[in-house]
Structure 1
Amino acid sequence: MKYQLLHLDDVPLTPCPCGTTRRAFVDDPDQTASLHVVTTSGEARTHYHKRLTEIYYILEGEGQMELDGQTFTVRPGTAVLIKPLCRHRLIGDMKFLNVPVPAFDPDDEWFD
């Protein structure tokens, strides 16, 4: 099939290093990309990926984004491109879209 359509409200919440997430399209056989709606509270756990590139887009809330030890202020409308091996985390209460490319793989989530 050349398309998929779903309602993210129907996707179960899953714990993640950032807080909780609803992950769409992770079961696509081509593993092109996935889409996650993530809610953070407080400090996320610093992590990185060896293969995945991620795009974060802040929808709600304000806080800090830590990228390889540098801290940046983020707010609604902020977009962040996170390439493989970049250690990252969010600090604060936020809701954001995360687009992993290729699709999210739980075996490619690393912690120091």
Structure 2
Amino acid sequence: MSSPRFAVAQLDEITPTPCPCGQARRAFKEPWNTLATVHLTDIHADSKAHYHQKMTEIYIVLEGEGHLEADGQIIPLKPMTTVMIRPGCVHRAVGKLKIINVPMPPFDPADEFEV
């Protein structure tokens, strides 16, 4: 079967899944997709510090304020702040936030290591 040339997702209609940051609604998880997934993530409390060996993430803050701890540095977060987190970077978000997270390659739970 060939992969489609486009895909559409309604993020607010996807069932949330628990993650180290809170709850994520993950779009484009299909096996044919090897580029990226898109997550609408609600960070409710202090998330758990973790890193990825293969995955780069882009966080886009939609709502709320807090900070990101990335390799020991504190990065203030507010709406429209965008952060790229590369493989190996130990990170966690702190605060009540709603973000878009774009993991590349697609999110793989086997590539998530808590510290």
Q: What is the aligned-residue RMSD (CA, Å)?
A: 0.9
Give the C-alpha shift of residue 76 in structure 1.
Answer: 0.3
Q: Tell me which stretches of 4 or more aligned residues in structure 1 moved more than 3 Å.
A: none
Match of 1:52 in 2: 55
For residue 62 of structure 1, give the secondary structure of its aligned residue in structure 2. strand
User: Cα deviations across residues 80-105 of structure 1 (Å, max 9, x unaligned)?
Assistant: 00000000011000000000011111
User: Cα deviations across residues 52-85 of structure 1 (Å, max 9, x unaligned)?
Assistant: 0000000000001100111121100100000000
For residue 12 of structure 2, give the secondary structure of its aligned residue in structure 1. helix
Q: Within 2, Cα distance between the matches of 1:33 and 1:58?
A: 18
- 1:1-112 equivalences under 5 Å are 1-112=4-115
User: Cα deviations across residues 7-31 of structure 1 (Å, max 9, x unaligned)?
Assistant: 1122111000000010001224132
User: Which segments of 5 or more consecutive residues in structure 1 lack a partner in the other structure?
Assistant: none
* Count of residue correspondences: 112
Q: Within 1, Cα distance between the matches of 2:9 and 2:70?
A: 32
The percent of aligned pairs where both chains have the same amino acid is 44
| Structure-2-length-normalised TM-score | 0.93
